[in-house]
Every structure is written in structure tokens, then in C-alpha cells.
Amino acid sequence: MQWYNELMVVPFYPMLATGMLLAGDGAKQSMRFAGSCAAYLRRHIFLTATHCTTVAHGESLLVMMQAETGTRIVKAVIPHPTVDVAVVVTDPAEEDSMGFRMQVYGEIDGSLMDGGDFIGFGYPVEGSATGMPVGRLFKGHLQRSFGYDPPSGGSRYLAGEMSIPAPAGFSGGPLAWSHTPDRPIAVVTTNHDSYVILDRIEQVEQDGKVYRESTSRVVSYGIAAMLSGLKTWVDDVVSDHLEP
């Protein structure tokens, strides 16, 4: 029966396990894209960045998944107390029994590898008039792991510095090692800009004022919150929402 078991193996597709967070007033049918998220262990439980779950008064938060019809209303958002990571919970959908049950990320991989190759999936917002996000697979390597201090304040957390920038909309998306694409290692949170001022610096006098002009070269690196130290917290939160 080995041939039968091989036929029953379902490939893992990051696109089908990664969703979009939408926020807005459902009554007015006005929705905005808030970020990306990853189905974790079940199709109704998601990992994302906490800042992607912020909604204004009167707005609702919803999840839209590839190959599913409609959206799911978020029932609970459980943010980590210090790190920009949150667990989002919706009601199970009918699609859970229609061949998509296996399209979820498995347990967190807590290993750390500077220089390790990763893949990630997310929905960057296009710079078009519609502003609709487009699903994309990203590949790169982690250049280092370090304690990241958010510029806007908040607690330091263990972060991975990506060799690629994180475009708007990729926040909340999952990263996984290339050799284990179905096990999340991190959640994309922001960008870090590294810059150097070039040699050319000029002073220009205009209307009695003196200005200093400088030319800088800026390089952006994506930042992701590593999940290695958050696994116990994530598993404790998720265990309350797993079906019997």
C-alpha cells in the first residue's frame, strides 16, 4: 500500500496557508488592507504582527484566504505583551473540510541560523490606483539575529535581519527555513534603514538662510520577530482555540 500512501501526500503551498487581514466598516462595504497573516496548525488560527490588527472605532477585522470564498470575521486578537506578534482567531469555515485542511503552517521551528536561507509569503500593496495587494513569495537569508529596539518605543525583542526589504503589506507574513517551508520561524514586522552620508556635502545660502545638503545612500533590510522564544506563549494561546 506504499503507492497509495504516496498518492495521499498533499504538498504544502505557502500561498494557500497565508492570508490577508482586512479592516473596515462592513456595513459601508469599505475595507482596507491591514497586513498579512499565516494559518497556524488550523485554518482558523493565524499568526501576524500586532500592529496589523489595529482597527479604528467601528471597524471590524477580517481574514481573507486564497482559494476560499468570502471572508472570516476575527473573533479574538491576542497580542504578545511585549513583542510585535499576535494570534488571531476566527470561526472555522466550511472550506476546512474541502481539501484545504493541510494548508497550514506546522509547529514553530525554534532553530536560529545566521545566514540561513528563508522563504516567506505575503501581500505587498501595489502602488496603483486600486492599491490592491498582490501575493508574492520572497526568498533571502538572515544576515544576523539581534536584539531589536523599535524606534517608536516598546520592548526589545529577538529579531532576524533579512537580506531583502519588507515592502508595505508584507508585515505579519511568515518566514520559514527553505528546507522546512511549512514550519514558521519568524513574523515580518518592519524595516530597518542603514545609511551612509557620501562625501559630497554643500552649503547653499538662500533668502539669508544657510542650508546643509548631503547625499546619502540608504539600504533597507526587513526585520522579523523570531518565534524561537515565543513558542511556549504561542502554544498556550493556541491551545485554548483548538477544536477537540
User: First CA to last CA across the chain, in angstroms?
Assistant: 30
| Residues 6+ positions from 103 with CB-CB distance below 8 Å | 10, 12, 13, 16, 17, 39, 43
Whether 134 and 179 map to the same domain: the answer is: yes
**Is the same domain home to 88 and 64?**
yes
Alpha-carbon span 192 to 203, nearest angstrom: 29
Q: How many domains are there within the chain?
A: 2
In a domain, 109, yes or no: no
Other Cβ atoms less than 10 A from the Cβ of 192: the count is 17
**Do 168 and 86 belong together in one domain?**
no
pLDDT digits (tens, 9 = 90+) for 62-120: 999 987 878 889 999 999 999 999 999 998 866 555 566 779 999 999 999 889 999 99
State the virtual CA torsion across 41, 44, 47, 50 in degrees, nearest 10. -160
Q: How far apart are CA 75 and CA 90, in angstroms?
A: 5
Question: 5-46: per-residue pLDDT in tens?
Answer: 443 456 889 999 999 999 987 655 678 899 999 999 999 999
**Which ranges of the chain would DSSP assign to H, the alpha helix?**
2-7, 14-17, 231-239
* 208 confidence band (pLDDT: 50, 70, 90): low
Residues 122 and 58: beta-carbon distance below 8 Å: no
Strand ranges (E), 40-129: 45-48, 60-65, 72-79, 86-90, 117-122
8 and 71 in a common domain: yes
Residue 201 included in any domain: no
Q: Within this chain, do residues 79 and 128 fall inside the same structural domain, yes or no?
A: no
CB 118 within 8 A of CB 177: yes
Question: Is there a contact between 22 and 71 (Cβ–Cβ < 8 Å)?
Answer: yes
pTM: 0.84
CATH number at residue 170: 2.40.10
Interval 120-159: pLDDT, tens: 999 998 765 456 788 999 999 999 999 999 988 789 999 9
Give the domain extent around 131: 117-196+219-226
Do 136 and 100 have their domain in common? no
Cα 40 from chain centre:
12
- Regarding whether 76 and 28 lie in a shared domain, the answer is yes
**CATH code for position 67:** 2.40.10.10
Nearest to 22 by CA among 50, 76, 64: 64
Closest of 73, 77, 13, 64 to residue 35, by C-alpha: 64
